[in-house]
Structure formats: structure tokens, C-alpha cells
Chains A and B, each alone.
Chain A
Amino acid sequence: MDNILSILVFFPAIAGLLGFIVDKESARVYGITVAAIEFLLSIWLWVSFDASNAGMQFVEMIPLIPDFGVSYYLGVDGISLFILIMAALMTLIGMISMSITENIKNMIITLLFLEMTMMGVFVALDAIIFYLFWELSLVPMLYIIGAWGGNLRIYASVKFFLYTFAGSLIMLVGMLFVAYIYHNLTGVWSFAITDWYALVLPVEYQLWLFGAFFFGFAIKVPMFPFHTWLPYAHGQAPTIGSVILAAVLLKMGTYGFVRFSLPMFPDASVMMITPIAVISIIMIIYTAMVAYAQKDIKQVIAYSSVSHMGIIMLGIFAMNAEGISGSVFQMLSHGIVSGALFMLVGMIYDRRHTKMLDEFGGLAAVMPKYAVIFGIMLMASVGLPLTIGFVGEFLVLLGFYQISPVMTLLAGTSIIIGAIYMLTIYKRTFFGPVTNEANKVLKDLTPTETWSLIPLVAIVIWLGVYPKPVLEPIDNSVKAMLEFMDEKAITKEAKELIIVAKSNQGGA
């Protein structure tokens, strides 16, 4: 299967098109089957992936507009591989646990299209193709929030769409400018990212371009102060929307920083470490405090997402393999954990049709299984060792310590304030006497719900105890990228700050 990446990208889309002729009753089964096949394909990709090779693999290249150097150019490396698998997994699990019955066929088709765009973003190696999938991903999500959302769904979906769209347009200008410079320097047009990597740009250009890409990525992440679309989107989106949004769509932003900003603009990235770190620390502390003040469980998780994305951002700008690998790993960890938390909130919402903390209390006695799984996810979310959440957070903080001990200490408060809001909602939801009559008759998790959560619990523990199979390929690619950045950097500061792992020096 030479075209495995194309298959991964277009299989869900074609299946989605065929979905229109599928019977309404069987739409759900059809969707789950397609997502399962897609997930198996992604696993197959992992199996045939060469972990020792840090470069791009399974590369496909078909020129589309040769005059302008636009080509259909795909590839995958250690950094994108696992995000890809996680996207397939979360789509599958989200679909299995989905409780929506209204317009189910449309939902399935939308999800399959969404899956195509997610796959596309993470395998695209051509800026235009990347941008295409990046923007296309907005449309299904707009539809999911706008059609199945809560009372404020139109406001939330339009805000989500326009906000992220505005950022991406600035990024598009940046992309066009890079291509223009490339043309000026080499005389040929190219939008291939790997060609762009070779460009050594003057520092001033790097800073401007870094800024342009920053808007596109930062709004998607979302970084403070561009984060306010997220609580609305999560608050209004149906469970499946929140799961995919938190697990995969937010990762596009941080992935963009790793794929574009760092290797293309190493000097600018080093110069921007302090501002980005300051924003990240604000994200970590400020949104964690805001999360503590929320009255709605889902909003707590939404704000906590922003806080965790702050950790990821910090790690990306640690400029050493520990930090960046940790950051990529944290992307996976946050995807799984926050996805699971949103699913859990969705399950209680299905039962009580409310997400307000005041309505609950003492659920541990009524729904023990639910309480156990929620508890495990909570512990993973606050970064307990031997769960998936610890590995990334530890590596990120460890890595960033090299840049600034004081900032690391500030960012490290996330382990405290994260515990504060998480334990508080857990106490308010699950502990104490059952005061609300409506809660006394709640049913514990159904088998479908349990079995859609158990794989996630298993992954949370497996990757917490033995992260090596995932961390190693990530680390290889990150090390290679850092070495490349170090070679390419032109300023002295950048050369000093970018740390090439000792085990990789001179090698690769």
C-alpha cells in the first residue's frame, strides 16, 4: 500500500459521500464501521512505520499546478503519526458513544468529512494542501455546533468560524509571502514545506512571518487572549463536537507551530521565547483560575483545556528535545484525557439534561463505575505519575527549566491549581450526600458507554506506564528537527539556546 496516506485521507470522505445512499437506520453502524476501518488503517500505518527513521515516510507527491509549484504532497513523521492515530481513535470512540438520534445520518456524514480534513492537515506537506484542509475542517465543525448545539449555538458556531478563519487568513498571507521569497531566491515556485525548510531567511523577515503564522495557529490553539471562542464552542457543541474539537482540532494549532514556525523561523522562534512563555504562563494560571469559578462542568473542562494547551505551548518553545517531545506527547495525552472528560460530561448530561455543578453531589454512591472512570481521567488530567498526563507535563516542565527556572516555577503551579479546580468539581459532583432527588434514580454507565471509555482508560494507563513505543518515534523526529534548526539558525543567541541532544550530535 504505497498510497496509504491518500487512502487514510480520502477513505472517510468517499465513505461519507456513499453515506448519502445509506439507510437512515443503519447510518450509525455504517459510520462506526468506516471509522473502525480508518482506525485500523492508521494502526497499520504505525506498524509499517520505521521508528528509527526520523524523516518523512510514506511520501506521496503529485504536481497539481506545476507553474506555481503547488503539488499534492503528503508524508508522515514521528510528530504527526500519533496525532493521526489519535484523531482516528477519537472519531471512532466519539461515534460509538454518541447519543444523538436526531438527523443521525447527517451527523455521521459530517463526522466522516471532518475526519478527512483532520487527516489531511496532519499529513499535508504542501502549504496549499495544508491550508485547504485546515480551512475545510471549519465547515463540518460549524455545522455540528450550529445544527446540534445548545441555545446559543448560532452565536457560538459563527464566533468559532469567523475567529479562527480571520486568523487563518493572516497565515495565508504569510504562506504566500514565503512562496514569493522562495521564488525570488530560487527562480521557481514551490509550496512544499520541505523546500521551504531550506530557506535561510533574514531575521527581520523571520519575525514578520512568524507573526503571520502565529495568528493562524494561536487562535486555533487557542492562546490567551484569543481563547474566548473556545468556552462558547464547547459550551454549545454537542458532546461529539466537543470531543473532536478538544482532542484534535486544537492540536492543529500546536502542530502548526512545530511543523512550520520552529523549523522555518528558528531565529525568530528563539527571539519569541519570552513573549510566548509569558502568554503560556498567563494561559496556564489565568484560565485555571477562571475554570475554578465556573458553574458548569463542561465549561470547567473547556477552560482547563486552555490551561493544558498552555503547557503544550511552553514545551514547544523549550528548544530542547525533552521539552518538544514532551509537548507532542502532551498533545496526545490532552487529546485522550480531555476527550474522555467531555464524553463523561456528555453522559451525565444525557441523563439529567443539565451540566450545572449545583445540580449534582454524591454521585459516587449512585454511579460508582462512572465515578471511577471520571476519577481516573481526573488524575490523568492533573498529571499523576503512571498516567498519560504526567509524562508530557513532566517533560515539558523539565525541558523549559533550561530556558528559565522562574518561568518553570510559575508554569509548574499548574500542577497545584489544576488539582484545585479538578478536585473541587469532583468533590462537588461525586462526594457528599445525594441531595437532589433527581440524582437518586440515576442509572450507572450502560455497557456501550463503559466499553467506549475502557479503551481510553487502558491507553491512559498504558502510555503512563510504558510511553516508550510512542515517545521514541516522536523523540527521534524532534531530535532531527532540533539539529536541523541548530544548523540553520543564523543568530548567535539561537545557536546557543537550541539544544541538540547529545545522543544525536553528529549523527542522524
Chain B
Amino acid sequence: MMENLVYIALFAPLVSSLFSALFGMSKRQTFVGVIASTLLFISFLASATLASHIVSTGTPIHVTMMDWISAGDLSIPFGFLVDQVSVTMMTVVTLVSTVVHIYSIGYMDHDKSFNRFFSYLSAFVFSMMILVMSDNFAGLFIGWEGVGVCSWLLIGFWYHKADVSREENPSISPSWAANEAFIVNRIADLGMLVGLFILYWNTGSLQYDVVFETLPSLSGSVLNAAAIFLFIGAMGKSAQFPLHTWLTDAMEGPTPVSALIHAATMVTAGVFLVIRANPLFGMEEVAGVSYFIAALGTFVAFFAASMALVNRDLKRIIAFSTLSQLGYMFAAAGLGAYWIALFHLAAHAFFKALLFLGAGNVMHAMHDELDIFKMGGLKKVMRPTYIYMGLASLALAGIPFFAGFFSKDAIIETAWNEGTLVLWAILVITAGMTAFYSFRQVFLTFEGDERYKAFDIHPHEMYKFVLIAMSPLALLAVVAGFGMGSFEHFVTTLLPEYHMSEHTHHIAWLLGLVVLVVAVGGIAYAYKKYAKGLKRDEALENSFIYQLLANQYYIPQFYEAFITKPYAMLSEILWKEVDMKIVDATVDGIAKLLYKSGDGARRMQSGNLSNYLNWMAVGAVLLLLVAAFSAMLG
């Protein structure tokens, strides 16, 4: 019975994708969206039932469908494991996906590729389910690459747009952004593959249980290498520095895609990997790697938040905030608080998806205008959206009793508890920045003067069914935090427990207060600066720091100048100079030499008997000489 539920949860999205694909090339059909959403909902129901089953029994469900690859001693099955960690992910993924599917029926209403969109979106959910449900690393890799491809398809969904200059659009074009995302992820995937190879040759298997059982018998260097390479894989999917540029460019995709893939689910796959492989990352021998993960996570949290401070693009701000929150998750996971990371992952999925969908409503209202400097005062026409985005921002900022408060606070507390005070301080500052930029965006969009009127835009609220569909996310963004205690109890049967020390426990309220003060300070500053309307400060906007942040530290330009262009130039040189002028020219040279020698020898054939006789004499003399020499040499 439960086994069937596993298959239903997994394959309903695939059925949805294939069904929608049948209509992929025909004209828009609303029922395609409805059926896809229904199938996703079925998948959600199955996941939720499985979750309640696991909660009540506590025993994971393990099914093996069939063999996939077996060669030599390697044997990889299609096996699926539903345990505390994966069932959490399954429920979160299917819930957000269902909402996003319903949302898309409204959002993609006027798009002629409506059916195709649902096909891609469901395919993504299927890949994501494989990723989280697989019982082995190779299966994880299937999902890993699968979500990559779906992300490629969806970022480049509006493929017909032309490339423009970076000044005009920092992501150049949807198809450019899609390729960037795929290729950057591939770089990380190579790391991940190598990690798999290390594990296979040292443990003889890729099954989680076998690998994790064998880990303690391995040498420190092997463990470290495996951890490093697996984390490189995680860095790509979760867009950690220096592989982060693709995530903001990915905002070229339709907004539901950004909500589902580039906020709630796919980008958290890296965090999921670290959590899943906690028996490896939690080992004494790899403490260095884990600390690096925490440090990098903290750095990215701050780094991304800093870029969000000055950005004017509605979606990019949220993308930077996603990046920043992923940093928080890695910080928690790196410090050993795996269940907190997982909890923040789930809470973040809810409020970030809500935030993105809200942004989608705004885009829909503003005819795809994304510049928040051109918005303002939208609360009059879009009150429900305002409330949704406000709630989500409160949750993101970590205001008490919203979801983000519990999870983020726990992460910051962990940093204090581990004695990594530098990390703690950065995370606290980042919390303030987070509060500032989220409310800067909310105020600039919804409060103040109605700047959009100058651009002749007539905003209107989103369809009602869409707003209703968003409500579960809003609800969860508000209340999810209260489930923290029972969630801890639930997942720590599988994940290592993490307890604050006595000392930390005592001053927890003080630590929480510090964070809260910083966060409220951020909101207050944003309110003071932006709630009454936009006053632009030319001097500030032209300052070096502002420009540095607005241009993403010039990292995309750096990549273009030092990686993309040299690669293209080198390729050109290799082809025209090396391949054509050296390798091929050598081959042709040998052929020409033979040809020339034949051409030269042809002149002996003069037709003149006298010449022939001369050559004959020369030959005879040569033969005599050869004979004489060989006789002499004996």
C-alpha cells in the first residue's frame, strides 16, 4: 500500500508532464493546466500521507523498482527511500509545486506556449522527486541533472527573445541565461561525479546505506576528498560563490519558475545533498571541510545580501535574497545543525515561493515591468498581493512568530553556540540587511507615490483563484515556525541531534533580541527612506560602493573577460592555427612531399634514349658501389 503511494508520489508528475507534452505543440488548452495541477495535487496527497505514515510509525519505506546500470562490480538500482528527510522534502516540493502549477494557470494565461510550460514544469517536479527520493548517489545524480535540464528549458522558456547588451539587460537573453545556468551547473556536476567515483572505489557501492556504513573505515584523505568534491557539486546547484552568477540571470524565466525552481526547490538541492550525506560531512575527519562550508555559506549570505541592497529589479532582489538564505542553510549544515538547515530550507521554501509569486502578480499587473523605481503605491490596486508579500517579507526578515524567525534565529544561535563568533556577527549583520532590502522592495513597490502613472501603466490585481491558491503558502509562512519542536523530534530520529550548550541556552533570549533589534532596525530604516516615496540620491548612486554592488562586484564582467572570451579565442586559435595549420598541414605536407617527389622523378622520363642510357649507367655504377661496399664490410 505504502509502496504504491511512493510510486504515485513519484510518477504523478511524470504523467502530468507527458500528458501536457502531448499538447505541447497545439494551442493553449486550459484543461492541460488543470489536469497537471490535479496530478501534482495527487502527488502532494501521496507525499503527505507518506509523511504522516512516517511520523506515526517512524520506519522508512524502501522500495527498489528495477536495475538501472550494472557493469563489473557496479550495480545501481532504481531504488527509492522515503525516510524523515526525504519525506520532508517530498512534501515541501509537491506542496509548493501544486501551488505554483495552479498559479501558472493564471499567470501564463496569455502565453501561447501554455501547454508546453506545464510539461516542463511537471518534468521538473518529477526530476526533483527522483533527486530527493533516490536511495543511492547515482539516482540522486539523475535528479540532479534532470532538474538542471528542466531549469534550462524553463529559464529559456521565452527563447524567441534576442540577445541584448549587458547594460540593457544584465542577463543578456533568456536563452543566454539558460545556457549559463546549465554550463555552470555542469562544472559543479563534474565535481559531484568525481565525488561519486571516490565513494564507489572506496566503498564498493553507491547506495547510501552501504556507503555510510563503510565510511568509518576509510582514511581521512579519502573522506576529505569525497566531501570536497560532493560539496563542489552542491555549490553549483545551490549557486554558492563563485558559481553564483547564474541564479540571478535565471530570473529571465517566467516568474512561477523562479518561485518553484530558483527559490523553493532546486537551489536547495545542494543543501539537501549535504544534509543527506551528513554521516560523511559530520565526521571528525572532515571537520575542516564542514567548517569551510559554514564559512562559505556565511560569506555568501552577506555577499548576496549586499548586492540586494541596491538592486532595482524586483525579481533579482528576491533572487539575491534566495542566495543569501541558501548561505544561511549552508552555515547551519556546515556547523553540524543539519535539522535546523532542513527546517530553514522548508520554511524558506514557503515564504520565498510566496514572495516570488507575489512578485509575479506585480509583474502581471505592471506588464512585465520589473524596475521598482517605476512602481510605488500599488497597495491601492493590489491589496491581497501587498498582504502576501508583506507577510513573506516579515517571515524573511525574521520578525517574531513568522516562520523565518524560528529557523533563522536557530541558525544564528548555532553560530554563537559553536563559538564561531565571526560567523555569528556576519550572520547578524546580514539579518539586518535582509530586513532592509526586503522592506525597501515592499515599500518601493506598494507604498508612496504612484510612479507607474508616468509610464502609462494600468495595474490590476491577479485572478482570484490565483490569490486563493497562494493562501496555503501564506498560511505556512506565518505558522510554520510553530512546528519547529515537533519537526525536530521527527527528523532527528534520522539526522544527528543538535543541542545548544547550557550557556547558549541561557542567553538565547538575549541573542534573539540582538537579531530582532537589528532586523527591526533594518525595516525601520527602509521605512524612513522609502515608505513616503522615492527620493533619489545622485551622489550615493554614483559612489563607488553603490556601483560595485549594483554591478554585482563586476563578477559577470570578470567572467566574461577572463573566461568566456579567452575560451572562444583559444578555441578559434586551436582550430585555425593548430588544427588547420599544424596538424592537418603536416598530414597534407607528407602527401604533398610524396606528390612532389613523384613530380620530380617524372622528369627522368624525357623520352630521350640517350638520357635513359645515362641514367642506366648511373644506376649501374651505384649498384657496383653498393656491391663493393657490402663486399668490403663483409
Contacts and interface: CB of A to CB of B under 8 A. Distances in A.
**Chains A and B in contact, CB within 8 Å:** yes
Interface of A: 159, 162-163, 224-229, 286, 289-290, 292-294, 320-322, 325-326, 329, 362, 364-365, 368-369, 372, 379, 384-386, 390-391, 394-395, 397-399, 401-402, 405, 408-409, 412-413, 415-416, 419-420, 423-424, 427, 430-434, 465-468, 471-472, 474-475, 478-479, 499, 501-503
B145 A412 contact: no
Contact of A402 (B187, B201, B579): B201
Contacts of B149: 379, 384
B281 interface: no
B69 A409 contact: no
20 contacts: A225-B586, A289-B574, A290-B574, A290-B575, A292-B571, A293-B571, A365-B160, A368-B24, A385-B145, A386-B142, A398-B196, A398-B200, A408-B197, A415-B186, A419-B183, A431-B173, A433-B160, A465-B68, A499-B72, A501-B73
B183 A228 contact: no
A106 to B, nearest CB: 28
A423 B145 contact: no
B71 A401 contact: no
B161 A427 contact: no
Contacts of B24: 368, 372
A386 B193 CA distance: 16
Top 4 closest pairs, chain A to chain B, by CB = A321-B72, A431-B175, A322-B72, A228-B584
Given A228-B579, A293-B576, 16 more contacts: A159-B587, A286-B578, A289-B567, A289-B570, A320-B72, A368-B24, A395-B69, A398-B74, A401-B198, A416-B187, A419-B186, A432-B163, A466-B68, A468-B68, A471-B70, A475-B71
Contacts of A432: 159-163, 173, 175
B591 interface: yes
A474 B575 CA distance: 37
B570 to A, nearest CB: 6
Contact of A424 (B179, B194, B576): B179
A399 B576 CA distance: 34
Interface residues of B, number: 56
Contacts of A391: 69
A372 B73 CA distance: 36
B169 to A, nearest CB: 14
Interface string B56-94: 000000000011111111100000000000000000000
Nearest to B141: A385
B186 A416 contact: yes
B591 A427 contact: no
Given A384-B149, A397-B197, A472 B70 contact: yes
A378 B54 CA distance: 41
B182 interface: yes
A227 B200 CA distance: 34
A89 B572 CA distance: 36
Contacts of A424: 179
B13 interface: no
B547 to A, nearest CB: 30
Interface in B122-158: 138, 141-142, 145-146, 149, 152, 156
B583 interface: yes
B197 A293 contact: no
B176 interface: yes
Contacts of A413: 190
Contacts of A390: 145
Contacts of A228: 579, 583-584, 587
A219 to B, nearest CB: 10
Nearest to B176: A427
A50 B99 CA distance: 52
B156 A431 contact: yes
A398 B175 contact: no
A467 B571 contact: no
A206 to B, nearest CB: 25
B447 interface: no
Contacts of A499: 72
Identify which of B142, B159, B201 gathers the most chain A CB atoms within 10 Å of its CB.
B159
Contacts of A226: 587
A225 B201 contact: no
A467 B68 contact: yes
Given A293-B574, A409-B190, A412-B194, A427 B584 contact: no
Contacts of A369: 25
Contacts of B571: 289-290, 292-293
A420 B564 CA distance: 10
A368 B21 CA distance: 12
Interface in B204-226: none
A395 B197 contact: no
Contacts of A322: 71-74
A433 B161 contact: yes
B189 interface: yes
Interface string B161-195: 11100000000010110010011001101100110
B587 A427 contact: no
A501 to B, nearest CB: 5
A186 B572 CA distance: 56
B568 interface: yes
A279 to B, nearest CB: 13
A326 B186 CA distance: 21
Nearest to A419: B186
B66 to A, nearest CB: 7
Contact of B69 (A401, A471, A501): A471
Given A321-B71, A466-B68, A431 B572 contact: no
Contacts of B72: 320-322, 325, 399, 475, 479, 499, 501
A326 B579 CA distance: 29
Contact of B71 (A294, A325, A415, A434): A325
Contacts of B578: 286
A503 B187 CA distance: 34
Interface centre among A362, A391, A416 (most CB of B within 10 A): A416
B575 A294 contact: yes
B193 A412 contact: yes
Nearest to A290: B575
Given A416-B186, A423-B179, A364 B194 contact: no
B160 A385 contact: no
Nearest to A465: B68
A502 B70 CA distance: 13
Nearest to B71: A325
A499 B194 CA distance: 20
Given A321-B73, A468-B67, A423 B197 contact: no
A386 B187 contact: no
B71 A419 contact: no
Contacts of A501: 72-73
B25 A368 contact: yes
Contacts of B141: 385
B591 A162 contact: yes
A465 to B, nearest CB: 8
B193 A290 contact: no
A362 B174 CA distance: 13
Contacts of B69: 391, 394-395, 467-468, 471
Contacts of A433: 160-162
A431 B160 contact: yes
A318 B363 CA distance: 54
Contact of B197 (A163, A398, A466): A398
A227 B574 CA distance: 14
Contacts of B73: 321-322, 501-503
Nearest to A501: B72
A415 B190 contact: yes
B623 to A, nearest CB: 27
Nearest to A286: B574
Nearest to A503: B73
B384 to A, nearest CB: 36
Contacts of B575: 289-290, 293-294
Contacts of A294: 575
A478 B72 CA distance: 9
Contacts of B145: 384-385, 390
